A and B are shown apart, each in its own frame.
Chain A
Amino acid sequence: MSTVSVRDVTVAFEAVQVFDGLSLDIQEGEFIVLLGPSGCGKSTLLNAIAGLLDVAEGQIWINGKNVTWEEPKDRGIAMVFQSYALYPRMNVRENMSFGLKMAKTPKPEIEKRVAKAAELLQITPLLDRRPDQLSGGQRQRVAIGRALVRDAAVFLFDEPLSNLDAKLRNELRVEIKRLHARLGKTTMVYVTHDQIEAMTLADRIVVMKEQKIQQIGTPDEIYHRPANLFVAGFVGSPQMNFVKGRLENTGEGLSFLAGDRRLSLSGYPFITAPSSGQDVVLGVRPEHLEISSTGIWPGFTVDIVEPMGADTVIWCSDTVGSVQVRTSGSRRATPGESMTLHVDPTQVSLFAAESGERL
C-alpha cells in the first residue's frame, strides 16, 4: 500500500501553471528524495503534499485517505524546514510540545513524548533553552524533534541540512538515516538539491527539472542508468563525460564513432532499437574510464591533475575534446604526459542527441 499518492496534481500560482498533471506514488516506510536544481518545483510539490499550498486539480492521498482539501494538521504529516522555523519566543520544550498542545493532548502524554523524542535526538539537556541559545545543528535537531513528537506517518523534509556547514551536514545526514531505520514504518519525503544527500539517504530518488519528473529510481538506477542527459549530468561529481558522436554499423555490429574514438556497442543494453547513422551522445562516468596501455582510446594528453586524497581526477584531451578520468588516489600524472584510455561498453550510457533520452 502506498502512504503518499500524488495523482495528476496541477498547482498554479496566479496565472503561472507550476505542475501539469504530476503523479507520484510513495510506498509505506519508503525514503523518497526529491532532487533537482532550484526552481524545479520540488519544494512546491512538498508544500502541496503538506497542504500548505492549494492544489488546482488532481488529488493527494495520504494513508488511504483523500486529503486534497484537508488542513495540514489533519494529514498525519510532520515537516522540517531549511530555516528550522523554531518559534523564537518559546524554549525547546515548548517548541516541541506546541503541536500537541494545539491538539489538546493530555499533559502527561505530552511530557512523555517530548522526553522520548529528546532522548532519541540527544537534546534532553537543551530542553529549557531558547532557540537563539542553540547552534545551527542543535536547532535542526530540535526541529526534527518537534516533527517527531507528532507521531506522524509521513515526514516531510524541506532541505533540512542546507543551512548547516559541511561537517554538521554529514553528521545529521547519518542521523536522519539512522532515525528512519529506527522508526521503521515512517515514510519520509526529503527535498534537496544536494546529490550526495539524495544518493546516501534515498530508497528512491525523484529527479525533477522544470516542474517535471525526469526519472524515478533507486540511487543505483539513477546513477548507473540515467534516463536522460539532464539526469546524467545532474547526478555525479565530477560530472559524467559526454561525447557527441554517431552510431555506425560496422562489420561486428553497431559502433559509436567520434573522430578517432570508437566503441563497439555489442554489449550495450539498448532500450529502444537504434538506427545506424543516428546522432548520439555517449556518457561515461569518470570512474569508468580506465588508464591502460592496452586501452581502446589512444592519443590523450594530460591537462590538469586534481589530487583529492581518496582519488585523483585527471583532465585529459585528444583531438575530439577533453574528458575527466577518476582514478585511485595514489595515481600520479604530470601535465603533458600522454595516455591511453579504456572504456567498458557495458558501463556507458547512450542518449539520443536530439531528444536527450536514453537509448
Chain B
Amino acid sequence: MSAAVPQGRRPRHLTIGRIGVYAFLVTAALFFMLPLWIMVVTSLKPMEEIRLGNILALPAAMTFEAWTKAWSSACTGLECNGISVGFWNSVRILIPSVILSIIAGAINGYALSFWRVKGANVMFGVLLLGAFIPYQVFLYPLVRIFSLTGIYNSLTCIVLVHVIFGLPTMTLLFRNYYAGLPIELFKAARIDGGGFWSIFFRVILPMSTPILVVATILQVTGIWNDFIFGLTFAGRENLPMTVQLNNIVNSTQGERAYNVDMAATMLAALVPLVVYFVSGRWFVRGIAAGAVKG
C-alpha cells in the first residue's frame, strides 16, 4: 500500500505578481511616510543644522528646544505664549461640541428609525441635503443671526455651530445603525410600557457602544481640525489650535523657524493622531456597519 501523495507541482507562494504587489505597497508606504519623517527630524534639529539643507538626515545634535518653544513661547502675532493657549481653547470647544452633537444625532437617529414620525423621510432628506451644501454659504447669514442674538464671538457660538453642522452626519450614522437593530426589540419595549425617553436610555443607548465610539472619533477629529468655523465664530479669546498654528507659521520676523513650525504642527495634529491609533479598529468597523445596513 502506498500512502496518498499529492499530485502535480506544489503551488509557489512567491510569484512575480506577489513581488510586484509588495513592491508597490512598500513604495506607497514610504511615499506617505516621508512628510512625517521630515517633520519629525526637522523639529528635533537646531536651526544651524536645518540651514545645511539635508532635510532627510537624522539630527546630529538632537534637541527638544523647538518643541518647548512651540508649546509655550512661540509668537502668534503680538502674543508670545506658544500654541498651548490654542490647545486649551480647542479642548474647551471640543468637549461640549462632541458631547452635544452626539446626543443630538443619537436622539434624531432613534426617533427617525424607531418612531416613524410623520414626514420623517422628508425631514431626513432635508437634513442630508444640508450636509451637501458648502459651509461657506452659511457663514455670512450665521454671523448675522448670531450677532443679532448677541452670542457672536463666544464659546457658546462656536459650540452651537459645531452641533448644528454635525447634525446631518451624526443623524445619518445613528439612523443607519439603529435601522440594523431588530425592530422587535423596540416593540417589546413598547409593550413593556417604555416611553420615548425610557426606551432610548434603558434599551437603545446601552446597545449603541460601537456607534458611539465611531461618532466620537468622527466628531473629535472633525472638530479638532476645524479652522474656518473657529476663525469665524469663536472670537479672539477662544481661537482654536488650528488658527493659532496658522498664526505661528505665518507671523515670523526674520528667519523662518522651521523646527518650531514643525513642532507646532505636530502638536496640533497630536489629538487626532492619538484618536486614530487608539481606535482605528472601531472606526473601520463602525463605518462598515453604517455602510452595509441602511
Interface residue ranges, A against B (CB under 8 Å): 47, 50-52, 71-73, 77-79, 81-83, 85-89, 98-99, 102-103, 146, 150, 158
Contact = CB atoms under 8 A, between A and B. Distances in A.
A73 B193 CA distance: 5
Given A85-B182, A102-B193, A52 B202 contact: no
Contacts of B193: 71-73, 99, 102-103
Interface residues of B, number: 16
Q: Which of A47, A71, A81, A82 has the most CB of B within 10 A?
A: A81
A51 B193 CA distance: 12
Q: Which of A71, A83, A87, A88 has the most CB of B within 10 A?
A: A87
B120 to A, nearest CB: 12
Contacts of B188: 79, 81, 85-87, 146
Contacts of B206: 87-89
Nearest to A50: B191
Which has the most chain A C-beta neighbours within 10 Å: B184, B185, B191, B206? B191
B190 A102 contact: no
A99 B194 CA distance: 8
Given A102-B192, A102-B194, A87 B203 contact: yes
A68 B200 CA distance: 25
Nearest to B185: A85
Interface in B176-225: 182, 184-185, 187-194, 198, 202-203, 206-207
Contacts of B184: 81-83, 85, 158
A145 B258 CA distance: 70
10 contacts: A72-B187, A72-B191, A73-B191, A79-B191, A85-B187, A87-B185, A87-B206, A99-B191, A102-B194, A146-B188
Contacts of B185: 83, 85, 87
Question: Do most interface residues of chain B lie in helix, strand or loop, or is the interface mixed?
Answer: helix
A165 B67 CA distance: 65
Interface string B245-258: 00000000000000
Contact of B192 (A47, A82, A98): A98
Nearest to B209: A89
A222 to B, nearest CB: 28
Interface of B: 182, 184-185, 187-194, 198, 202-203, 206-207
Contacts of A79: 187-188, 191
A82 B189 CA distance: 15
A343 B193 CA distance: 57
B190 A73 contact: yes
Contact of A98 (B182, B187, B202, B207): B202
Given A98-B194, A102-B193, 9 more contacts: A50-B187, A50-B191, A83-B184, A87-B202, A87-B203, A99-B191, A99-B193, A103-B193, A146-B192
B194 to A, nearest CB: 6
A320 B207 CA distance: 61
A77 B191 contact: yes
A167 B198 CA distance: 38
Contacts of A83: 182, 184-185
A79 B193 CA distance: 12
A235 B190 CA distance: 34
A13 to B, nearest CB: 11
A192 to B, nearest CB: 16
A43 to B, nearest CB: 11
Given A81-B184, A102-B198, A87 B191 contact: no
Contacts of B187: 47, 50, 52, 72, 79, 81, 85
A99 B182 contact: no
Nearest to B116: A54
A292 B184 CA distance: 53
Contacts of A82: 184
Nearest to A52: B187
4 closest A-B pairs (Cβ-Cβ)?
A: A99-B192, A73-B193, A102-B193, A89-B206
Contacts of B191: 50, 52, 72-73, 77-79, 99
